[in-house]
A and B are shown apart, each in its own frame.
Chain A
Amino acid sequence: MRIYALAVYAFLYLPIGIIALFSFSAGRSASQMQGFSTGWYAKALGNPFVVDALKTSASVALTSALLSCLFGTMAALALTGLKGRVRTIFDAMIYIAVMIPGIVIGIATLIALVTVFDAVNPWVQAATGWRLSLGFGSLVGAHVLFTMSLVIILVRARIEGMDRALIEASSDLGAGPVATFRQVTLPLLAPAVFAGFLLSFTFSFDDFIIAFFVAGPETTLPIYIFSSIRRGVTPEINAIGTMVIAVSLILLIVAEFTLRRGKPAA
C-alpha cells in the first residue's frame, strides 16, 4: 500500500522534476543533460517576447482576481438567505459557468464579442475615434466569468459555516450594520476571499484554451509557450515552465494554509 502511494507520488512529481532538471542543462539539447547552468533562465528572462507575455499574463491575472473577489464576494453576501427565482437563476448561472467546457466559453465569447463589436464599432468610432476589439478586456471578461463563480462558491460555503451568533452578539452590543460588517463579517470571510483571490489568479495565469480564442492581438505566457513548443523543444521552455510552476506552487501553498487557518479546528 505504502509502495503504491510512493509510486503514485513519483508519477505525479517525476515529470515536473525532469522538466526542472533539464532547465539547468548547459547544452542546447532538451533531451540530454550537459553540465549545469542557469543560462537558460537568463536567456528566457532576457527574451522580450517572454517578458511581454509574462507582463500581459500577470496583469490579466491580477485584474481578473481583483474583480472576481470584489464582485464574487458581493454576490455571495447578497445571495445568503435569498430564496425564490433570483436565487434559482444565480445558482443555475454559477453552475453553468463552472461546468461548461472552457473551450465552449472561449468560442462563445469570441463570436459574441466579434459580432457585437462589428455592430457597434461604426458608432463608437464616430463618437470617440476608437474601435472596440479583442484583447485585455475580453481576456479579463472571460476569465472573471469562471473565477467569480469560484469565489462565490468559496465565500458562500464560508458564510454558511459562519457562526450567526457572532453577528447577533455584535448587533446586541450596539454595533450598526456597517460596523458589524467591517469588524465581524469581513474578518471572518477574509480567508475564503483571499484563497479565492489566489485560485483566481492561478487559473487566469495558467489558462490557455480560453485565451487562445479571446486574446486577439495579445500574447499571454501560456499562448507563447504553446507556440514555442510547436516550433521545437528547447531548455528555454523548460526554464519558463519551471518558473511558472514555481509561482503556482507558492501561491497554492499560501492559499491552502490560509483556508486551513481560517477553518475552526476539526
Chain B
Amino acid sequence: MALSNRQARWLLLGPAGLWYAMLLVLPLAVVLVYSFGERGAAGGYQPAFTLAQYANLATRWTAFKNTLMLAPLGTVAALLIAYPLAYFLAVRVNPRWRTLLLVLVIVPFWTSILIRSYAWIFLLGGRGIPALLADLGLGDWRLINTPFAVLVGIVYGYMPLMFFPIYVSLEKLDRKLLEAASDLGSPPWRSFVQVTLPLSLPGVATGSMLVFILLMGEYLIPQMLGGGKVFFVGNALVDLFLQSRNWAFGSAMSVTLVAVMLVVVTLYMRFLKRIGAAREDVGLM
C-alpha cells in the first residue's frame, strides 16, 4: 500500500466530511444568512440586512405558545405511560419473555409515523370512538382536531422513545440494593421511592430530552390530528416555505426554533447536573 496512515484516514473521512460540509454546515449557514434578509417581490429571498423578520415573529406567537405548551405536556404524558411499562419489563417480567416484549415496543416506533397518525384520525374521527361513546349514551364528544387528539398522537408516537432510556437505567439497577432496603424493614413502596426512582432518573432525563427535542420540530401530528386548529412551529414553517414562500421570515423562525431548543436543553442539562441525574451517554435506542 502506497498510502500512509494519515492519507488513508483522510480518504476514509472524505465523503462523510464532504456531506457534512455541503448538506449540513452550508444549508444551516444559508438559513442564518437569509433570516436577516427580506422577502422577494415574487416570494423567495432578497438580500438585505435587517432584524425585521425577528421583530415580526410576535405575529406567530400562537405557534410558539402551542409548541411550548404541548411539547412539555406530551413529554410528561409519555413519561407517565412509559415508566410503569419500563419498570414492569426491567424488574418484574419473566426474562424468557423480555426480548419479545422489548421488540414489541420498538417496532411501532420504527414504522411510519404518518400511518400511525392516520390510524388515530380513524379512531378519533366522528365514526370512531365518539360514535362508540354516543352509542353507550355517554354524550356527544368531539375528539378529532382538538389539543387532546394531538396529545394522544404525541404519546402514541413518542412513548417508545421515552421507554428505552428508562428501561436501560432500570435494568442496570442492582437488585441487592432493593433486598437490602427490604431487609432493613422498608415497605416496597418506600424502596421504590427512595431507591428505584432516584436511580432511574438518568433514564428519565435522557428520554424526556429526546422526546422533547423531537416534539419541538413536530409537524405531522398537529397537522393530521389538530386539523390546522392546533398549530405548532412546524406547521407555521411549512406554511411560510411552501405556501406564502416567505423564505426570510421562515428562516428567522427556523433559527429561533433551534435557538429555543438549545436554550431549553442547556437549562435542562444544568438542572440535571444540579440534581445529579446527568449522564454522558445518550443511548440512541
User: Which residues of A pack against B, CB within 8 Å?
Assistant: 1-2, 4-5, 8-9, 11-13, 15-16, 18-19, 22, 30-32, 70-72, 74-75, 77-79, 82, 86, 90, 93, 96-105, 107-113, 115, 141-142, 144-145, 148, 150, 152-154, 177-178, 199, 202, 206, 208-209, 212-213, 222, 225-226, 229, 233, 237, 241, 244-245, 248-249, 252-253, 256, 260
Q: Are the C-beta atoms of A202 and B110 separated by less than 8 Å?
A: yes
Known: A100-B258, A109-B23. A208 touches B114 (CB 8 A): yes
Chain B minimum-CB-distance residue to A101 = B217
Known: A241-B112, A245-B115. A256 touches B106 (CB 8 A): yes
Q: Are the C-beta atoms of B216 and A4 separated by less than 8 Å?
A: no
Chain B minimum-CB-distance residue to A245 = B111
Chain A minimum-CB-distance residue to B258 = A104
Q: Are the C-beta atoms of B27 and A71 separated by less than 8 Å?
A: no
Known: A4-B85, A178-B1, A237-B118. A112 touches B19 (CB 8 A): no
For the complex, is B241 an interface residue (Cβ under 8 Å from A)?
yes
Q: Which of B74-117 contact A (CB under 8 A)?
A: 81, 84-85, 88-89, 92-93, 99, 101, 103-108, 110-116
**Could you tell me the distance in whole angstroms from the C-beta of A167 to the nearest C-beta in chain B?**
15
Q: Are the C-beta atoms of B88 and A249 separated by less than 8 Å?
A: no
Docked CA distance A109–B113 (Å)? 22
* Interface-central residue, A9, A70, A178, by most chain B CB under 10 Å: A9
The segment from B122-130, B191-199, B200-208 that touches chain A is B122-130
Docked CA distance A78–B15 (Å)? 12
Q: Are the C-beta atoms of A77 and B112 separated by less than 8 Å?
A: no
**Could you tell me the distance in whole angstroms from the C-beta of A39 to the nearest C-beta in chain B?**
19
For B99, list chain A residues within 8 Å (CB): 260
Docked CA distance A19–B8 (Å)? 51
Known: A78-B9, A104-B217, A148-B16. A18 touches B30 (CB 8 A): no
For the complex, is B57 an interface residue (Cβ under 8 Å from A)?
no
Q: Are the C-beta atoms of A111 and B1 separated by less than 8 Å?
A: no
Chain B minimum-CB-distance residue to A82 = B9
Known: A5-B89, A111-B251. A75 touches B123 (CB 8 A): no
Residue from B13, B15, B23, B128 within 8 A of A31 (CB atoms): B128
Residue from A16, A152, A209, A213 within 8 A of B16 (CB atoms): A152
The interface bits of chain B over 224-249 (1 if a CB of A lies within 8 angstroms of the residue's CB, else 0) are 10000000001001100110000100
**Could you tell me the distance in whole angstroms from the C-beta of A102 to the nearest C-beta in chain B?**
6
Docked CA distance A98–B27 (Å)? 15
List, sorted by A's number, 8 A–B pairs whose CB atoms are closer than 8 Å: A5-B88, A93-B24, A100-B258, A105-B27, A107-B237, A111-B247, A112-B27, A225-B115
**Could you tell me the distance in whole angstroms from the C-beta of A181 to the nearest C-beta in chain B?**
11
Docked CA distance A12–B111 (Å)? 12
Q: Are the C-beta atoms of B220 and A104 separated by less than 8 Å?
A: no
For B257, list chain A residues within 8 Å (CB): 101, 104
For B214, list chain A residues within 8 Å (CB): 101
Docked CA distance A2–B106 (Å)? 19
Q: Which 10 A-B pairs have the closest CB atoms?
A: A101-B217, A108-B27, A15-B119, A78-B12, A112-B27, A75-B16, A31-B127, A241-B115, A71-B15, A206-B112
For the complex, is B54 an interface residue (Cβ under 8 Å from A)?
no
Q: Are the C-beta atoms of B119 and A19 separated by less than 8 Å?
A: yes
Residue from B12, B105, B108, B127 within 8 A of A77 (CB atoms): B12
For A101, list chain B residues within 8 Å (CB): 213-214, 216-217, 234, 257-258, 261
For B213, list chain A residues within 8 Å (CB): 99, 101
Q: Are the C-beta atoms of B122 and A31 separated by less than 8 Å?
A: yes
Q: Are the C-beta atoms of B220 and A209 separated by less than 8 Å?
A: yes
Residue from A12, A99, A109 within 8 A of B27 (CB atoms): A109
Q: Are the C-beta atoms of B113 and A206 separated by less than 8 Å?
A: yes
Q: Are the C-beta atoms of B111 and A248 separated by less than 8 Å?
A: yes
Known: A72-B16, A111-B31. A32 touches B127 (CB 8 A): yes
Known: A111-B247, A112-B30, A256-B106. A177 touches B123 (CB 8 A): no
For A142, list chain B residues within 8 Å (CB): 23
Chain A minimum-CB-distance residue to B127 = A31
Residue from A96, A99, A110 within 8 A of B241 (CB atoms): A110
For A248, list chain B residues within 8 Å (CB): 107, 110-112
Q: Are the C-beta atoms of B118 and A19 separated by less than 8 Å?
A: yes
Known: A111-B45, A111-B247, A213-B242. A13 touches B108 (CB 8 A): yes
Q: Are the C-beta atoms of B12 and A108 separated by less than 8 Å?
A: no
